[in-house]
Structure 1
Amino acid sequence: MSTDPPDGPIAAPDAATDDGVARRLAREAGTAEASGADEVPAEGDLDELPDPPAKARPPKSSTRNILEWVAVIGGAVIIAVVVRTFVLQTFWIPSPSMSPTLVKDDRVLVNKLAYKFHDVNRGDVVVFERPPTEPPSEIKDLIKRVVALPGEHVSIMDGKVSIDGKVLNEPYVHGLQTVLDSCPITYVPGIDTTAGFKVPEGEVLVLGDNRVNSHDGRCFGPIDEDLIVGRAFFLMWPPGHAGGL
C-alpha cells in the first residue's frame, strides 16, 4: 500500500475558515513599501508639528537710515514753511499801543486764512502791513483793532468814538479817552466833527487799545483790506497770560 501523496494540487483551505487577517497584513505592508514608508500625519496632528524657523531680516544699511531721516526732516520743514506762509504765524508785539490787551514783547498767533472765508469784523485784532502813508521802518507789520468798517462814518468827540452817530462801546480801552492831539499829520479829515469821516469801500479804520499812546488810524488814516495779513486770535506768550483775544 503506497503512502505517496495523490497526484494533482492540494486543495486550498476553505474560505469560510479564513479570517483574512494574514491577507490584510500583507496588503498593508505592500502599501507602505509603495509609498516609501513615509507616514502622513493625521489632520489632528498638524498642531503638534514644529514651526518653520523665522527668516532673519537683513539689517538696514546706514545710507538707507540717513535717507529716511532726511526725508522725514525735509517733509517737516516743508509743512512748517507752508503753514507759516499760508495758515498760521506768530507775531511779536513791538510797542505798548495795544495795552492792556497786549503789551510789549507779547507773542500772538495769527490766522492768515481768516478773511479768505468771511469779512473783517468790528472789534477784530488784526496784523497788517505798514501803510504807504507811513515812513519806512524796520517794523514791517503793525497790530491794531478794527473800529470802523467800509462805508461807515466815524467821529471822535469828547474822548469817545462814534459810528454813524452812535457811541461805540469799547470795554477793551478800560476807560481811556480817545484823543486827537497825538498826530502831527492826519489822513482822516472830518473825524472830529459830528458828520465824521466816511471810511472808503474796501478799507477799515484801526485804532490801538491804548488810546493815549498809539500811532494808528487817527494818524495814517484807513488801511486797505488787502494790507491785512490776518486776524490775531490767541495770546501764546507769556504762558501765564495765554488765551483767546
Structure 2
Amino acid sequence: MILGRAAGAGSPDGSGGNGSDSPEAADAEGTTEGAQTSDDEEGRKPKRKQRSFWKELPLLIGIALILALLIKTFLVQAFSIPSDSMQNTLQQGDRVLVDKLTPWFGSEPERGEVVVFGDPDNWLAGEPTPDPNPVQRVLGWIGLMPSADEKDLIKRVVGVAGDTIECDNTGPLKVNGKALNEPYVYPGNTPCTVDDQGGQFKLKVPEGKIWVMGDHRQNSLDSRYHQNDKNKGFVPVDNVVGRAIVVAWPPTRWDTLPVPDTFDQGLSAAAPGALGLAGAVPLVLWRRRRLLTGGNPRVSGGGTAG
C-alpha cells in the first residue's frame, strides 16, 4: 500500500490521476513555491534604519562650521566697531559686514568707500585689547563673531594712487585741486584740521597705497597723524581686508554703506600721458593746415585761388 500509494499518488489504476506527482509537475510546483518564498523574503526584508537626529547633529554642526569658516575667509566677515572715529556713519558697538570677495578678483579700494584694513605700522599702539572668553574666541575664529585677535581698523578712503590730497588749516579738504563737500563728516568738525601739525599738508598718494580718514575728524587718528611712520601715513592696498557694505547689528541701525555722491564729481587726476596727447593734437592740426596751405594763412585749405 505504501509503495502503490507512492507510485499511483492515490489513483486506483496507478496512472497518477491528473499528473500532479510527475517530475514535471513537481518541478513546476517547486518553481512556483520558490518564487513565492523569494517574494515573501523580499517583502519581509527589514528597511535600513534612519539615523537619529542626535547622531546626525555632530555632522551637521561640523558642516556648518566649515561653511562658516569658508564664508569668513573668502566672502563676508563681521567686524565690530570699537571706537567713535567713524561717527555718525558708524557708532561704537555696531557690527558691519565686510565684502572680502571682490579683492580676490583684483578690485582695489575706491574713493569714498569705508574699508577695513590691517594695522599698517602700529597705529593701534596704546589701544585697549579685548579679552574674549573661549566661546567668543571660537566664534570669532570661524567668523560668527568679530575676532578679537585681528588688529584691524576702519576708515573712509579719501585718496587713491596718483591723487593729490591737500588741507589748508580748517579746510575744505581738496582732492586733485577740487574741494570736497563732505556731509558725512561729524557735525561741528572741521574737515581736515590736524591739531598737533598745524592743519596743513599737501601730498601725493603713491602707487599701491591709499589715504584714509575717519568721519569724526576730531576723534580719528587716521592717515593725517601717521605721516612720520614707515608708510608716511598711507595704507598699503595689500593691508585692506575688504569694503564694509552694511551695518548688520543692532537691527535698529541696519543700513547700507554706499559711496557718497561727493566722490562722483570727476576727481581723477589727469595722467601725464593724457595731458601730453591733449597738447599735441592742436599742434598736429595746425602743422597739417600749414602744409596744405603752403604756409599762406590767407588761402583756404579746401579751395582754390581765384
1:146 maps to 2:157: yes
1:89 shift after superposition: 0.9
More strand by share: 1
Is the radius of gyration larger for structure 1 or structure 2?
1
Aligned identity (percent) is 40
Residue of structure 2 aligned with 1:80, choices 68, 92, 114: 68
Secondary structure at 1:218 match in 2: helix
Match of 2:113 in 1: 124
- Structure 2 counterpart of 1:150, which letter? A
Report the CA distance between 1:135 and its aligned residue: 5.4
How far residue 56 of structure 1 moved from its aligned partner, in angstroms, is 3.6
For residues 207-222 of structure 1, the aligned pairs below 5 Å read 207-220=213-226, 221-222=233-234
Matched, 1:231 2:243: yes
Q: Residue 17 of structure 1 corresponds to which residue in structure 2? A: none
* Residue from 207, 210, 218 that aligns with 1:204: 210
SS at match of 1:205: strand
The structural deviation recorded for 1:70 is 2.9
Q: Separation in 2 of the partners of 1:130 and 1:85?
A: 18
Cα-to-partner distance string for 1:82-117 (whole Å, 9 max, x where unaligned): 221232111110111101110110100011122223
TM-score (norm 1): 0.69
Q: Does 1:102 align with 2:90?
A: yes
Q: Which residue of 2 aligns with 1:161?
A: 173
Aligned residues: 204
CA deviation profile, 1:45-72 (whole Å, cap 9, x unmatched): xxxxxxx85644243577x973x43332
- State the distance in 1 between where 2:220 and 2:255 align: 23
For the residues of structure 2 that align with 1:171 and 1:80, how far apart are their CA atoms? 37
**In the aligned structure 2, how far is the partner of 1:233 from the partner of 1:59?**
47
Query: What pairs up with 1:3-14 in 2 under 5 angstroms?
Result: none
Counterpart-to-counterpart distance in 2, 1:217 and 1:168: 17
Partner of 1:181: 194
Structure 1 spans left out of the alignment, 5+ residues: 1-28, 39-51
**SS at 1:102's partner residue?**
coil
Name the residue aligned to 1:170.
182
Corresponding residue to 2:49 among 59, 63, 75: 59
**8 Å contact kept, 2:79–2:95:** yes
Q: Which moved more, 1:78-87 or 1:201-210?
A: 78-87
What is the CA–CA distance in structure 1 between the aligned matches of 2:207 and 2:186, rounded to whole Å? Answer: 30
Q: Distance in 2 between matches of 1:61 and 1:78?
A: 22
Task: Give the superposition deviation at 1:124.
Answer: 0.6
Residue number in structure 2 paired with 1:69: 57
The structure carrying a bigger helix percent of its residues is 2
Task: Summarize deviations over 1:112-166 as a string: whole Å, max 9, x none.
Answer: 1222232211011001111215353456111000001111110112421101111
What is the TM-score of this pair, normalised by structure 2? 0.56
The amino acid that maps onto 2:185 is V
